[in-house]
Amino acid sequence: MVKTISKASRQLIQRLWRKWHDISLPLVAIIICLPLIVVVASFFIGLGGEEQRATLSHLFQNVIGEYVWHSLILLVGVGLMVMLMGVTAAWLTTACEFPGVRWLRWALLLPLAMPAYITAYTYSGMLSFEGPVQNALRALTGWGLGDYTFPEIRSLTGAVLVMGFVLFPYVYLVTRAAFIEQSRAAIEAGRTLGLGPWQSFYRIALPMARPAIATGVTLALMETLADYGTVHFYGVTTFTTGIFRTWYGMGDQVGALQLASLLLSAVVVLMLVERISRKQSRYHHAGRNNQATRPMKLQGVKAFLAFSACFLPVLFGFLLPALQLLSWSADRLDVWGDAAFWGLVRNSLVLAALAAFITVTIALWLCYGKRVASKRRQTKRTRITQASVSFASLGYAIPGVVIAVGVMVPLSWLDNRIIGFSESVFGLNPGLIFSGTIVALLFAYTVRFLSISIQTVESGLTQISHAMDESGRILGLKSREVLTRIHFPLLRTSLITAGILVFVDVLKELPATLVLRPFNFNTLAVRAYEMAGDERLADAGPAAIMIVLAGLIPVILLSRAMNRRQHLHNEEGRIVEPKPSDLRFGEPSPGKIYEPL
Amino acid sequence: MSQLKLSNVEVGFGRQTIVDGVSFYLGEGEIGCLLGPSGCGKTTLLRAIAGFEPVTSGRIELNKQLVSSPGQHIPPEKRGIGMVFQDFALFPHLTVFENVAFGIRNQSAEEQRQRVNLLLSHVGLAGYGPRYPHQLSGGQQQRIALARALAPKPKLLLMDEPFSSLDAELRESLAAEVRNLLKEEGITALLVTHDQQEAFAMADRAGVMYHGRLLQWDTPYGLYHRPAHHLVADFIGVGVLLHGSVTEELKVQTALGLLHGDEVVRGTEGEAVDVLIRPDDIVIDDTAERRAKIVARGFRGAHFLYTAELADGSHLLCMAPSHHQYDIGQEVGLRLNLDHLVLFPSGFCDT
């Protein structure tokens, strides 16, 4: 009797567990998508009310034109810059050999460590009237104030230049991976059909890398659309600054939501253009025989030009701003002993660590759900599971401001309900439990960065075939032991990588943090940004340096992963067998949208 | 149409020598084949002929013109050589038509159209022009790669393991088709393969490479029946080597008895030699005097391949139709069907 009851209850638990798995995945996806749903819905609901229609028409008449125009100039300018610099550097470092190429291969990733808003403010300092450049100019020429005109960096052109130099590594990284993976035979087939070495680049390597270039440029442009710090600091009005102004300056939530939905549609257009531009080439097959071609040895003027084309982006994108930051930090050594400063560091680290833990945990849950589902036959439930994972990964494309607005609205609604309920029942005001605490921040970070974790964990998990599980079982492991003795050791690097990537991204994140941080709660990014905004450039130095140092970690990870790939092609141009561990760090692959940093 | 001549070609990477002193000649309209296990240098040699690898010594002449030597290197695009790659290397961003027309892009649109359509119908894929490579099967891709290489009317066609990624059935029929096409157009061609059946089906002349050296350059028949080196005998077909010594009458004394073929035995009297015995040199005949014991048996469909042990313990391979079954341990008689003897210096014998 007792036996049957315990057996029945065990079956019940098992059934509930299975059901829970089926339900929890879509549930997680819906919660992650909630801010998105709010923003999209607000646009349509907003059209219903008289007042909202008035807001929208006001927006359209007065500001939208300017936002669209500025955003377009930014997109075109940054797009051209990153394409030119990224593709040139990728090709030169893959197909040619010239002095310095070895360290330039990884140095070209360094600008990724610099958040655009930090680069923006270092240039503003360097090129200001009292800055080193104008000082030197005056010392050389003997000019004084008003004797000359100097181009103003804090302008739309300045914003294009700064973002171009910061974001080109996206194109470089993805395109270089594509060039390396291209079949040597395709280039050689071109040579036997009468193409010279440079022609074979234009006619074969470049068109074949087109999907990857499109992906890299799209990533850079999504960052451009999402940027708030740079454009605000340089006084360029775009959608992101507009959302801030409408939300804080005018206290107009509906207007902010509607601007957010317009920004969102711009992102969607961008993604569609990318999808279309890939067309047939999505089926592009690299071929098995992807040995490296003998690199062309460049000498003399050619070598110098190639070196310059690769070195200047590093100089302007990383070395100069980093030197400026170092010099400011050296000026303000007192800050390093300041307790308030270390409070900021603690805040940032705690937030980043929590967000990393949460996203990796959710990513693990989702990826395992998908893996279990993929073992079954294609049923409706499997498709729902897979769709859930895709929906939960949408956040990478959504600008932080949009997410912040989308998180704030439902959470403050929830808080008001809780306060109302609590006051009527207990007569107590519990305060803003969700929208006024770091819960809101963590929620936003999870929405924005979950896709990074999912991609990394998934790429780790795909290396563990079902056959591996089965051979483990045949060799006598229990299903729990399969997890601990096979999966965990194999996944460990992926999990750590996923955690580090999210950790660093959270440290750098600015717009969502600005909107959602609790009262009197500051982070390194916020401090660096606020100090710079108050023209206390040197004071911003130490916080900025900390962020850049953290940003270097994923750059090192990426360059190591890239190195290993390069090593598949050793000096003699002969093939060396790749090891599965070469693909461990969910590297970006061409034709697949991925946000590495 | 033209000839290809290699004299003492050496190719190396750094200190490593990959191709070591290879010489051969391929006449007009002939199809040549380089055979060998993987890593023997045959693909590197092919790439040196195409101009992708410089030679460290020796000469490569195409149509009596020097194209590669340590002092002179004509780049691949100036050689007028066509090449079919192992993974076909079709350009994924171009249609089939654009792929085939790629090498003749300087001709007028009308000339291109005619040439491409002619070639597509030659390879049996007329009407496939607008498709993309990824929409084709492996065999179709292979034929498009061939059409693309042939479009500029190359002086020489090189093929690197052209059929290796196709399944066995397709491989055989396609090899015959390609040979007919090349012969029709009178094209000089050189292919590289590790599959001897492919070489036998395609080639007029073939060579076996080992560790960068070309061991023998001969007709396929010659490689099988008159191997010049025990490694050639080992690579081409199956067989065993038997100890023997040359007798006064220039015959060879072995465990099988006194052997003599139609052709005169090379070697001097009393010399110790190894004799190559192919399974088709031996017939199981119960009435024969030579006795042997069956020790192993492998079913090959149409026939059995038996391993027979002679009185002195040495082993032989022999074939028998599959309706003639012998049990392991059974004693049988062996009749010899040798028309010539293949001898190697002693020392490589397996038994």
Q: Is B46 on the interface with A (CB under 8 A)?
A: no
By Cβ distance, the residue of B87, B94, B103 closest to A288 is B87
> Which residues of chain A lie closer than 8 angstroms to B154, CB-CB?
192
> Which residues of chain B lie closer than 8 angstroms to A188, CB-CB?
50, 52, 76, 83, 85, 89
Listed in sequence order, the residues at least 6 apart from A30 whose beta carbon sits closer than 8 Å to its beta carbon are A37, A391
Residue A163 has which token pair? 């973002």
pLDDT at B19: 92
By Cβ distance, the residue of A204, A210, A280 closest to B132 is A280
Query: Looking at per-residue confidence, does B80 or A280 come out higher?
Result: B80
Above 60 in pLDDT, residue A284?
A: no
φ, ψ dihedrals at B274, nearest 5°: -110, 135
Residues 273-302 of B with CB under 8 A from A: none
pLDDT at A46: 59
Give the minimum alpha-carbon distance from A306 to chain B in angstroms, rounded to a whole number: 23
Residue in B with minimal Cα distance to A281: B93
Whether the Cβ atoms of residue A391 and residue A36 lie closer than 8 Å to each other: no
What's the mean pLDDT in A578-584? 32
Among the listed residues B196, B277, B281, the one whose alpha carbon sits nearest the alpha carbon of residue B236? B196
pLDDT at B254: 83
pLDDT at A532: 83
Q: Is B74 on the interface with A (CB under 8 A)?
A: no
- In the DSSP assignment, the letter for residue B228 is S
Above 80 in pLDDT, residue B182?
A: yes
Interface contact flag, B134 A280, Cβ < 8 Å = yes
Interface contact flag, A183 B87, Cβ < 8 Å = yes
Q: Is B77 on the interface with A (CB under 8 A)?
A: yes
Residue in A with minimal Cα distance to B153: A193
pLDDT at A78: 96
Q: Is B92 on the interface with A (CB under 8 A)?
A: yes
**What are the tens digits of pLDDT across the range B261-305?**
666 566 677 778 888 888 888 888 888 888 888 888 888 877 888
Residue in B with minimal Cα distance to A188: B52
Give the residue carrying structure tokens 């069907």: B337
By Cβ distance, the residue of A208, A289, A573 closest to B93 is A208
**What are the tens digits of pLDDT across the range A113-131?**
889 999 998 998 888 888 8
Query: Looking at per-residue confidence, does A392 or B8 come out higher?
Result: B8
By Cβ distance, the residue of A190, A197, A285 closest to B134 is A285
Listed in sequence order, the residues at least 6 apart from A369 whose beta carbon sits closer than 8 Å to its beta carbon are A21, A24, A25, A385, A388, A389
Q: Which of A7-16, A155-164, A362-371, A427-436 has the lowest mean pLDDT?
A: A7-16
Above 90 in pLDDT, residue B226?
A: no
Q: Which of A66-75, A215-224, A281-290, B107-116 has the lowest mean pLDDT?
A: A281-290
Above 80 in pLDDT, residue A26?
A: yes
Neighbouring CB atoms inside 10 A of A375's CB total 10
Confidence of residue B109 (pLDDT cuts 50, 70, 90): very high
> Which residues of chain A lie closer than 8 angstroms to B148, CB-CB?
189, 193
> Which residues of chain A lie closer than 8 angstroms to B79, CB-CB?
192
Above 90 in pLDDT, residue B88?
A: no
What percent of chain A is predicted at pLDDT more than 90?
Answer: 20
**What are the tens digits of pLDDT across the range B18-30?**
999 999 999 999 9
Interface contact flag, A208 B82, Cβ < 8 Å = no
By Cβ distance, the residue of A281, A289, A572 closest to B14 is A572
**What are the tens digits of pLDDT across the range B299-338?**
887 788 888 888 888 888 888 887 778 888 888 888 888 7
What's the mean pLDDT in A439-452? 91
pTM of this structure: 0.78
Interface contact flag, B89 A188, Cβ < 8 Å = yes
Interface contact flag, B92 A204, Cβ < 8 Å = no
By Cβ distance, the residue of A191, A280, A281 closest to B76 is A191
Residue in B with minimal Cα distance to A284: B92
Above 50 in pLDDT, residue A586?
A: no
> Which residues of chain A lie closer than 8 angstroms to B103, CB-CB?
192-194
Above 60 in pLDDT, residue A505?
A: yes
By Cβ distance, the residue of A189, A196, A294 closest to B89 is A189
Query: Looking at per-residue confidence, does A5 or B96 come out higher?
Result: B96
Interface contact flag, A193 B14, Cβ < 8 Å = no
Confidence of residue A565 (pLDDT cuts 50, 70, 90): low
Whether the Cβ atoms of residue B95 and residue B132 lie closer than 8 Å to each other: yes
**What are the tens digits of pLDDT across the range B57-71?**
999 999 989 999 998
Residue in A with minimal Cα distance to B91: A186
Above 60 in pLDDT, residue A492?
A: yes
Give the minimum alpha-carbon distance from B218 to chain A in angstroms, rounded to a whole number: 28
By Cβ distance, the residue of A197, A284, A287 closest to B89 is A287
By Cβ distance, the residue of A185, A197, A281 closest to B92 is A281
Highest mean predicted confidence (pLDDT) among A174-178, A353-357, A487-491, B296-300? A353-357
What percent of chain B is predicted at pLDDT more than 70?
Answer: 96
pLDDT at A583: 31
Query: Exposed e or buried b for every residue in B201-222, given b needs 16+ CB within 10 A?
Result: bbbbbbbbbbebbbbbbbebee
d(CA B239, CA B249): 25
Interface contact flag, A208 B92, Cβ < 8 Å = yes
**What are the tens digits of pLDDT across the range A358-369?**
999 999 888 888
**Which of A193, A281, A289 is the best residue to mutate to test the B interface, defined by the most B CB atoms within 10 Å of its own CB?**
A193
Interface contact flag, B52 A188, Cβ < 8 Å = yes
Residue A441 has which token pair? 């921040």
Interface contact flag, B89 A572, Cβ < 8 Å = no
Tell the burial category of A295 from Cβ atoms under 10 Å away from its Cβ (0-12, 13-18, 19+): middle
Interface contact flag, B51 A280, Cβ < 8 Å = no
Q: Is B91 on the interface with A (CB under 8 A)?
A: yes
Above 60 in pLDDT, residue A577?
A: no
Side-chain-side CA neighbours of A197 within 13 Å: the count stands at 13
pLDDT at A575: 34
Whether the Cβ atoms of residue A42 and residue A257 lie closer than 8 Å to each other: yes
Among the listed residues A529, A549, A548, the one whose alpha carbon sits nearest the alpha carbon of residue A539? A529
What's the mean pLDDT in A486-508? 86
- In the DSSP assignment, the letter for residue A205 is I
Interface contact flag, A281 B152, Cβ < 8 Å = no
**Which of B19, B38, B86, B87 is the best residue to mutate to test the A interface, defined by the most A CB atoms within 10 Å of its own CB?**
B87
* ipTM score of complex: 0.73
Average pLDDT, chain B: 86
Residue in B with minimal Cα distance to A207: B93
Interface contact flag, A207 B93, Cβ < 8 Å = yes
**What are the tens digits of pLDDT across the range A393-428?**
888 888 888 898 888 888 888 888 888 888 888 887
CA geometry: angle A227, A231, A236, nearest 5 deg: 140
What's the mean pLDDT in A319-335? 87
> Which residues of chain B lie closer than 8 angstroms to A205, CB-CB?
none
Above 60 in pLDDT, residue B110?
A: yes
> Which residues of chain B lie closer than 8 angstroms to A192, CB-CB?
50, 76-77, 79, 81-83, 103, 149, 154
**Which of A192, A200, A282 is the best residue to mutate to test the B interface, defined by the most B CB atoms within 10 Å of its own CB?**
A192
Above 50 in pLDDT, residue A587?
A: no
Above 60 in pLDDT, residue A519?
A: yes
DSSP characters for A480-495?
HHIIIIIIHHHHHHHH
Q: Return the bridge partners of A382, or none.
A: none
